[in-house]
Each structure stands twice: as structure tokens, then as C-alpha cells.
Amino acid sequence: MECSSRVIIKVEDLVYRYDSVNALDGLTFEIERGEFVGLVGPNGSGKTTLLNCLSKLYTPQNGYILLDGHDLRELTPLEGAKIYAVVPSEFPVDMNISIVDTVLLGRYPHFEGFWWENERDEEIALNAMEKLNVSGFADRKLGELSSGEKQRVMIAKALAQEAKVLLIDEPVAYLDLGYQLEIMEMLRNLANEGVTILAAMHQLNLAVKYCDKLIVLKQGRVVACGKPEEVVTQRLIEDVYGVKSIVQKIPEAGLVIIPLSTSNNGGALDKETCEKRTIESDKASARWGSVEA
């Protein structure tokens, strides 16, 4: 399998099965260098499984992954770590290791023969900590931090790794509103500097605002892939999430998605209320002149 030099991730016909679940069912897509890609889709659609295949944690039963021109299967862990850094969505809670040491661990692919870091490693780690605003708790233990603080530390560790590709599972899941925007802006800037980012996320409005491209998964398949404004429509939101919504371009904000109700209203409401809500949703969509197709 070949790919052009501007393509840094090429995935073809990828299949991953757990014992009883077909989690990835023949995925094919490409990501170009320096793209910030949002991997979106409902719970259980395969986002984490895909990230785990891309980071070699899982071995797919079928298909190929080319990473920076290499067949992923042939990369050693150290070669891989120079190309991609991973930020998982869950972190160990009981790690008795300081924040500064955690971030320094990100430098390990660059240590040459020795485990001990040099001044440059320390400088890179400290810069990453400053960027993520975690320098203030450099000496505290990872296990003592809040979920959001831990998440920022793990992103700082990935930054310190200076990889070409960042694979992030739910980068803003635990963050407050201010940090959500800050992290997305920082990832956007990194992509502008040439780092390729694939971030699995549920916050559609942030994905639409900051990402160059969205890959939309449903039941282990790619159902849409492209620029956010081309991909995100009311129909897509309803098909993929079962949610009626308004999708509209607002001058100050760009494309925004306003969820109105689930198509079946959670299955908990009687038929009459359900129909009434659907009519109200449709009226609201019409009033807002939203993107229907």
C-alpha cells in the first residue's frame, strides 16, 4: 500500500473484533500532515478502539495502517514513540510519581543510551508544563490531582514527547469551559505548527469550531469524513446520534449545533408528547433557518 508524502496516516479496511463485538468494521480514511482531525460518534462507535489500533495497543484482525510512510506493524515501540504520542481518556489514579517526573517521562524516546534526562529534556518538559498551566503543581503527585488537572498533565507529557502525531482520547472531557477552549486553541496552534492531531471527542461544537476535518463513526464504520461545515448537518446528527437539532451558521461563532430532543425522546415519553416535541423541534429548525441536508 502506498501513500503520498502529504498523507501521514492512512488506514485501509481496518477491522477490529473483541470476542463478541465487531468494534471496527472496515474503516478506510486518510489524514494529512498538520491536520487537526476530530473523531466523533456516539458511545460505543469505535473511537477508542481505533486510537488503540493506531497506537499499537491492539492488533487489528484485518486491514492496514500506514504511519508516516511506515507499516505500523513493523515499527518498534521506540520508533513508534518518535512518531506518535498518546493521551488516553483514563489515567491511573494511584500513581505516586511527581508531575514534573510524569512530564519528563515523555522524553524517553529521545534519551540516548541513558535513562537520565539532560538540560534540553528538562527545558522541553518545563515549557510543556507552562503551556498547559501545570507548573504550579510540579512537585505534587499525579494521584492527588483532579481529573482535569491530570488531563492537562498528560497532554503536557505528550507535548514533551515532540511526536509528529498526537492521538488523544477525549482531550476536554474533564475540563471546565475555560480550559476546554484553551486546550482546543492550543491543539489548533500545534496543528498550525505542523503537528497532526487525531482527537476523539463528544463536544461537537468544539470539534466543528477548531478541527480541519471530522471523521464520523457509527457502529464501527466511517459514515462521514470531511470539513466540518460539509459534514455536519441536521440529518447527520439525527442519523448518527438519534437527536433532532438545529445546525446553523452564526456570524460570531461559525457553525453551531443546538440539540433539541432525541428522536424517540429517550423512549420514556408517551406517543402524544413525543409527537408534540417533534413538531416543536421542527418549528424551531424552520425559525432558525438551519442546515437541513
Ligand X SMILES: Nc1ncnc2c1ncn2[C@@H]1O[C@H](COP(=O)(O)OP(=O)(O)OP(=O)(O)O)[C@@H](O)[C@H]1O
Q: Give the count of residues interacting with Mg ion (CB under 5 A).
A: 2
Nearer to ligand X, 23 or 291 (CB): 23
CA distances (Å), origin 3, targets 56, 79, 136, 166, 282: 20, 19, 44, 20, 44
Of 3-11, 42-50, 96-104, 210-218, the segment contacting Mg ion by CB under 5 A is 42-50
Nearer to ligand X, 48 or 290 (CB): 48
Least distance (Å) between residue 121 CB and ligand X: 33
Distance, in Å, from the CA atom of 7 to the CA atom of 54, rounded to the nearest integer, reads 15
* Residue from 10, 48, 55, 137 in contact with ligand X (CB under 6 A): 48
Closest CA to 167 of 275, 51, 48: 51
Residue type, 33: R
* Residue from 23, 37, 40, 48 in contact with Mg ion (CB under 5 A): 48
**Out of Mg ion, ligand X, none, which partner does residue 44 contact, by CB within 5 to 8 A per kind?**
ligand X
Nearer to ligand X, 86 or 246 (CB): 86
Orientation of helix 177-192 relative to helix 147-160, angle to 10°: 10
The answer to the question of residue 41 lying near ligand X (CB under 6 A) is yes
* Residue from 27, 40, 45, 290 in contact with ligand X (CB under 6 A): 45
The answer to the question of residue 57 lying near ligand X (CB under 6 A) is no
Of 43-51, 111-119, 147-155, 241-249, the segment contacting ligand X by CB under 6 A is 43-51
**Do residues 28 and 225 make contact, with C-beta atoms less than 8 angstroms apart?**
no
* Edge-to-edge order in the sheet of strand 62-67: 22-32, 7-17, 62-67, 70-71
The answer to the question of residue 88 lying near ligand X (CB under 6 A) is no
* Residue from 21, 57, 78, 105 in contact with ligand X (CB under 6 A): 21
If phi over 0 gives left and psi between -120 and 50 gives alpha, with beta otherwise, what is residue 162?
A: left
Nearer to ligand X, 43 or 96 (CB): 43
User: Is the four-CA dihedral 49, 55, 56, 60 of positive or negative sign?
Assistant: positive
Nearer to ligand X, 100 or 217 (CB): 217
CA distances (Å), origin 267, targets 42, 256, 260: 17, 26, 15
Closest CA to 160 of 80, 81, 51: 81
Q: Give the residues lining the site for ligand X (CB under 6 A).
A: 18, 21, 23, 41, 43-49
